[in-house]
Amino acid sequence: MTPEQLLENPDLIAAGVAGDDARRAMHGVRTTFVRVFEIHVDAVPQSLPARTHAGEFRLVGRPSNLDALVGAARAAVTLAGAVPVTVFSLADLVALAAPVRTVCETLKSAGISAIVQVPIDTVEDIELVVGDARSAGLDVLSLAIDALDDDGRLQACRRAFDLQASLGGFKAFAPLPRTVSVTRPSTGYDDVKQIALARLVASNIPSIQVDWALYGPKLAQVALTVGANDVDSIAAVDPGVLGTRRSPLEEIKGNITAAALEPVERDALFRT
């Protein structure tokens, strides 16, 4: 099935089968996930909550200035110990009043390990910006989409393919939009097709990713059966109120296993 046929065909099962076939050809049943402890740049905690087990500590939010960001980065690195600390979006760094390379060099010196993602629809001159980040020693791990129109679904996936072809090094592509239009919200039908489409088109990117915290367990599990093979943003803190079998770790492992797949935990840098 070609990408154009997938978009035009109303048969959702056929689309899902095409995406799943492509996924299994690349990864078999292996499905990775990461437990993330998020830290807002304006509110770094003094200590970790009880029952925190993270493969990644992630700075989120748009800092007011570079000094504030660096202070938060150093505090987060101290808090995380040996666990990698990342900055969520390259878009937040581009917005600072300083050259991207300077920002990234400073963050690298503060102990930051990588930048999680760059949105392909909002950051201009992606090739230049990603190149500056990597030259400073910070890898950009994944491609993402902030907003998505129905007419731009195939174009977005092709853009991801082209960026990987020209820059290389991206570990994942998250093809579902992080923000949804109030007037034209996407549907589960749209989301399933987008996952399958991304796996077929962005064939040079290792992982198709779905965000557990953003889209929820149900859609995440369906996504894993139609082309996705990586789940981001599993909670790192176990509230401890529902018992060990209902912990975030056991919930994600159970969802993956229920989809007849093999759960493999990874860290921020995609190391298992």
DSSP string, 135-177: HTT-EEEEEE-S---GGGHHHHHHHHHHHHHHH----EEE-S-
- The whole-number pLDDT of residue 244 equals 59
Q: Looking at the domain assignment, is residue 272 inside a domain? A: no
* Residue 181 in this model has a pLDDT that exceeds 70: no
Q: What is the pLDDT of residue 183?
A: 61
Long-range contact list for 128-132, CB < 8 A, 24+ apart?
129/90, 129/94, 129/100, 130/90, 130/163, 130/167, 131/167, 132/99, 132/100, 132/101, 132/104
Q: What proportion of the chain, given as a percentage, has pLDDT over 90?
A: 83
pLDDT for residue 133: 97
Domain total in the chain:
1
Cα distances from 196 to residues 137, 230, 259, in angstroms, run 33, 14, 16
Average pLDDT, the chain: 93
pLDDT at 251: 93
Measured distance CA(80)–CA(67) in Å, rounded = 20
- Name which of 246, 247, 248 is nearest 212 in CA terms: 248
> Who contacts 146 (Cβ-Cβ below 8 Å, separation ≥6)?
91, 119, 121, 122, 177, 178, 179
The whole-number pLDDT of residue 243 equals 60
Coil, helix or strand at residue 184: coil
- State the pLDDT at residue 179: 86
Residue-level pLDDT at 88: 95
Residue type, 267: D
Determine the distance from the C-alpha atom of residue 37 to the mean position of all C-alpha atoms in its chain, rounded to a whole number. 14
Model confidence at 2: pLDDT above 80: yes
Q: Tens digits of per-residue pLDDT, 132-142?
A: 999 999 999 99
pLDDT over threshold 90, residue 167:
yes
DSSP states along 53-85: --SEEEEES--SSHHHHHHHHHHHHHHHTTS-E
Q: Which residues contact 159 (CB under 8 A, 6 or more apart)?
A: 120
**Contacting residues for 62 by C-beta, under 8 A, at least 6 apart:** 41, 92, 95
Mean pLDDT of the region 48-73: 95
3-state secondary structure of 133: helix
Chain segment 228-261, per-residue pLDDT in tens: 999 999 999 988 766 656 789 999 999 999 999 9
In a domain, 106, yes or no: yes
Region of 22 please: left (phi>0), alpha (psi -120 to 50) or beta.
Answer: alpha
Residue 162: inside a domain: yes
Report which of 93, 112, 111 is spatially closest to residue 102, judged by C-alpha positions. 93
Report which of residues 86 and 239 the model is more confident about. Answer: 86
Q: In the structure, what pLDDT confidence band is assigned to residue 149 with cuts at 50, 70 and 90?
A: confident
pLDDT digits (tens, 9 = 90+) for 90-122: 999 999 989 999 999 999 999 999 999 999 999
Residue type, 265: E
Q: Give the mean model confidence (pLDDT) for residues 52-70.
A: 95
* SS3 (DSSP) at 33: strand
pLDDT in the model for residue 86: 98
- Check which CATH number belongs to the domain holding 166 and give it: 3.20.20.70
The b/e string for 27-42 (b: 16+ C-beta within 10 A; e otherwise) is: bebbbbbbbbbbbebe
- Over the stretch 187-222, which tens digit does the pLDDT of each residue have? 778 899 999 999 999 999 999 999 999 999 989 999
Tell me the backbone φ, ψ of residue 31, rounded to 5 degrees: -135, 120
User: Does pTM top 0.85 for this prediction?
Assistant: yes
Tell me if 270 is assigned to some domain.
no
- Minimum mean pLDDT range among 4-8, 73-77, 82-86: 4-8
**Residue 150 domain boundaries:** 3-265
